[in-house]
Amino acid sequence: AKDMIFNKPHESVAQSAINIKMLLLDVDGVLTDGNLYFSNSGEESKAFNSLDGHGIKMLQSAGIQVGIITGRTSELVAKRASDLGIDLLYQGREDKLAALGEIMAAVSIEAMEIAYAGDDFPDLPVLDQVGLGFSVANGHEDVKSIADAITSRSGGHGAVREITDFLLQCQGIY
Protein backbone atom coordinates (compact mmCIF):
# COMPACT_ATOMS: atom_id res chain seq x y z
CA ALA A 1 0.00 0.00 0.00
CA LYS A 2 3.01 2.27 0.37
CA ASP A 3 3.05 2.86 -3.38
CA MET A 4 -0.66 3.66 -3.68
CA ILE A 5 -1.55 7.09 -4.99
CA PHE A 6 -4.01 8.95 -2.76
CA ASN A 7 -6.40 11.59 -4.10
CA LYS A 8 -7.35 12.54 -0.55
CA PRO A 9 -5.03 12.87 2.44
CA HIS A 10 -3.68 9.43 3.41
CA GLU A 11 -5.00 9.85 6.98
CA SER A 12 -8.51 10.50 5.69
CA VAL A 13 -8.45 7.43 3.42
CA ALA A 14 -7.00 5.29 6.23
CA GLN A 15 -9.74 6.55 8.58
CA SER A 16 -12.44 5.55 6.06
CA ALA A 17 -10.78 2.14 5.71
CA ILE A 18 -11.26 1.43 9.43
CA ASN A 19 -15.06 1.28 8.94
CA ILE A 20 -15.04 -1.02 5.90
CA LYS A 21 -16.99 -4.27 6.35
CA MET A 22 -17.26 -5.23 2.67
CA LEU A 23 -15.10 -5.00 -0.45
CA LEU A 24 -16.90 -5.09 -3.80
CA LEU A 25 -14.91 -5.71 -6.96
CA ASP A 26 -15.33 -5.23 -10.67
CA VAL A 27 -13.86 -8.10 -12.70
CA ASP A 28 -12.50 -7.06 -16.10
CA GLY A 29 -9.61 -4.66 -15.54
CA VAL A 30 -9.58 -5.15 -11.74
CA LEU A 31 -9.51 -8.89 -10.97
CA THR A 32 -8.14 -9.45 -14.50
CA ASP A 33 -5.92 -7.37 -16.80
CA GLY A 34 -8.99 -6.35 -18.80
CA ASN A 35 -8.06 -8.37 -21.87
CA LEU A 36 -10.77 -10.71 -23.14
CA TYR A 37 -9.46 -13.89 -24.74
CA PHE A 38 -11.65 -15.92 -27.11
CA SER A 39 -10.74 -19.18 -28.84
CA ASN A 40 -11.84 -19.99 -32.40
CA SER A 41 -14.71 -22.01 -30.93
CA GLY A 42 -15.84 -18.91 -28.98
CA GLU A 43 -14.65 -20.09 -25.57
CA GLU A 44 -13.55 -17.30 -23.28
CA SER A 45 -10.55 -17.34 -20.96
CA LYS A 46 -9.41 -14.94 -18.25
CA ALA A 47 -6.31 -14.84 -16.07
CA PHE A 48 -6.74 -14.23 -12.33
CA ASN A 49 -3.92 -13.41 -9.93
CA SER A 50 -3.13 -15.75 -7.02
CA LEU A 51 -1.94 -12.83 -4.85
CA ASP A 52 -5.40 -11.28 -5.24
CA GLY A 53 -7.04 -14.59 -4.35
CA HIS A 54 -5.03 -14.93 -1.16
CA GLY A 55 -5.77 -11.31 -0.21
CA ILE A 56 -9.49 -11.95 -0.66
CA LYS A 57 -9.26 -15.00 1.60
CA MET A 58 -7.37 -12.97 4.22
CA LEU A 59 -10.13 -10.32 4.19
CA GLN A 60 -12.81 -12.99 4.57
CA SER A 61 -10.91 -14.57 7.47
CA ALA A 62 -10.88 -11.15 9.12
CA GLY A 63 -14.67 -10.95 8.79
CA ILE A 64 -14.77 -8.53 5.85
CA GLN A 65 -17.18 -9.72 3.16
CA VAL A 66 -16.15 -9.71 -0.49
CA GLY A 67 -18.51 -9.43 -3.46
CA ILE A 68 -18.34 -8.99 -7.23
CA ILE A 69 -20.36 -6.72 -9.51
CA THR A 70 -19.62 -7.13 -13.21
CA GLY A 71 -21.27 -6.02 -16.42
CA ARG A 72 -20.33 -9.22 -18.23
CA THR A 73 -21.52 -12.75 -17.50
CA SER A 74 -19.01 -15.58 -17.46
CA GLU A 75 -18.86 -19.13 -16.12
CA LEU A 76 -15.18 -18.47 -15.41
CA VAL A 77 -16.09 -15.67 -13.00
CA ALA A 78 -18.70 -17.87 -11.31
CA LYS A 79 -16.03 -20.56 -10.85
CA ARG A 80 -13.45 -18.11 -9.51
CA ALA A 81 -16.02 -16.64 -7.09
CA SER A 82 -16.97 -20.13 -5.94
CA ASP A 83 -13.31 -21.11 -5.47
CA LEU A 84 -12.83 -18.03 -3.29
CA GLY A 85 -16.04 -18.50 -1.30
CA ILE A 86 -17.62 -15.33 -2.71
CA ASP A 87 -21.42 -15.64 -2.47
CA LEU A 88 -22.22 -12.06 -3.45
CA LEU A 89 -21.85 -12.44 -7.21
CA TYR A 90 -23.78 -10.03 -9.43
CA GLN A 91 -23.05 -10.74 -13.11
CA GLY A 92 -24.47 -9.15 -16.25
CA ARG A 93 -25.14 -5.93 -14.36
CA GLU A 94 -24.68 -2.88 -16.56
CA ASP A 95 -26.38 -0.82 -13.83
CA LYS A 96 -23.90 -1.38 -11.04
CA LEU A 97 -25.56 1.17 -8.79
CA ALA A 98 -28.76 -0.91 -8.75
CA ALA A 99 -26.68 -3.98 -7.88
CA LEU A 100 -25.05 -2.02 -5.03
CA GLY A 101 -28.51 -1.16 -3.69
CA GLU A 102 -29.55 -4.81 -3.81
CA ILE A 103 -26.43 -5.88 -1.93
CA MET A 104 -26.92 -3.20 0.73
CA ALA A 105 -30.51 -4.35 1.24
CA ALA A 106 -29.62 -8.05 1.20
CA VAL A 107 -26.93 -7.86 3.87
CA SER A 108 -28.13 -4.67 5.61
CA ILE A 109 -24.91 -2.77 5.23
CA GLU A 110 -24.46 0.96 4.75
CA ALA A 111 -22.62 2.58 1.85
CA MET A 112 -19.98 4.03 4.18
CA GLU A 113 -19.03 0.48 5.24
CA ILE A 114 -18.33 -0.59 1.65
CA ALA A 115 -15.14 -0.25 -0.39
CA TYR A 116 -15.33 -0.67 -4.17
CA ALA A 117 -12.64 -1.16 -6.81
CA GLY A 118 -13.38 -0.27 -10.42
CA ASP A 119 -11.60 0.84 -13.57
CA ASP A 120 -14.08 2.24 -16.10
CA PHE A 121 -17.21 4.36 -16.62
CA PRO A 122 -19.79 1.81 -15.39
CA ASP A 123 -18.00 1.92 -12.01
CA LEU A 124 -18.28 5.69 -11.53
CA PRO A 125 -21.77 5.77 -9.91
CA VAL A 126 -20.75 3.10 -7.38
CA LEU A 127 -17.42 4.79 -6.57
CA ASP A 128 -19.42 7.95 -5.92
CA GLN A 129 -21.69 6.24 -3.35
CA VAL A 130 -19.42 4.01 -1.25
CA GLY A 131 -17.30 4.83 1.77
CA LEU A 132 -14.03 4.11 0.02
CA GLY A 133 -13.32 4.00 -3.71
CA PHE A 134 -10.30 2.44 -5.39
CA SER A 135 -9.12 2.35 -8.96
CA VAL A 136 -6.21 0.46 -10.48
CA ALA A 137 -3.07 1.70 -12.23
CA ASN A 138 -4.52 0.74 -15.63
CA GLY A 139 -7.93 2.31 -14.92
CA HIS A 140 -9.48 5.03 -17.07
CA GLU A 141 -8.21 8.52 -16.17
CA ASP A 142 -11.71 9.76 -15.24
CA VAL A 143 -12.16 6.86 -12.82
CA LYS A 144 -8.71 7.32 -11.28
CA SER A 145 -9.46 11.02 -10.78
CA ILE A 146 -12.49 10.36 -8.52
CA ALA A 147 -11.16 7.31 -6.65
CA ASP A 148 -9.92 7.87 -3.10
CA ALA A 149 -6.83 5.80 -3.91
CA ILE A 150 -5.20 4.21 -6.95
CA THR A 151 -3.15 1.04 -6.74
CA SER A 152 0.41 1.02 -8.05
CA ARG A 153 -0.26 -2.36 -9.65
CA SER A 154 -2.53 -2.96 -12.61
CA GLY A 155 -5.69 -5.04 -12.56
CA GLY A 156 -4.93 -8.76 -12.81
CA HIS A 157 -1.39 -8.12 -11.53
CA GLY A 158 -1.92 -7.87 -7.77
CA ALA A 159 -3.93 -4.63 -7.58
CA VAL A 160 -6.65 -6.25 -5.47
CA ARG A 161 -3.99 -7.60 -3.08
CA GLU A 162 -2.75 -4.02 -2.57
CA ILE A 163 -6.30 -3.04 -1.61
CA THR A 164 -6.83 -6.01 0.72
CA ASP A 165 -3.48 -5.44 2.45
CA PHE A 166 -4.29 -1.74 2.87
CA LEU A 167 -7.69 -2.48 4.43
CA LEU A 168 -6.21 -5.08 6.81
CA GLN A 169 -3.36 -2.74 7.80
CA CYS A 170 -5.72 0.18 8.48
CA GLN A 171 -7.92 -2.07 10.60
CA GLY A 172 -4.89 -3.34 12.53
CA ILE A 173 -5.44 -6.98 11.53
CA TYR A 174 -2.83 -7.48 8.81
- Per-residue pLDDT at 2: 64
What's the whole-model pTM score? 0.96
Q: Which three-class secondary structure state does DSSP give residue 47?
A: coil
For residue 123, pLDDT over 80 is answered with yes
125 close to 96: Cβ distance less than 8 angstroms: yes
**What's the average model confidence in pLDDT over 63-83?**
96
Q: How many CA atoms lie within 13 A of 83 on its CB side?
A: 12
* Amino acid at site 89: L
Count of other CB atoms within 10 angstroms of residue 37: 10
Rounded to whole angstroms, how far apart are CA atoms 174 and 13?
17
Q: How many residues does the chain have?
A: 174
**What's the average model confidence in pLDDT over 112-141?**
98
**What's the average model confidence in pLDDT over 58-73?**
97
For residue 151, pLDDT over 80 is answered with yes
Give the gyration radius of the chain's Cα atoms. Answer: 15
- Per-residue pLDDT at 174: 86
For residue 1, pLDDT over 60 is answered with no
Mean pLDDT over the full length of the chain: 96
- Per-residue pLDDT at 106: 95
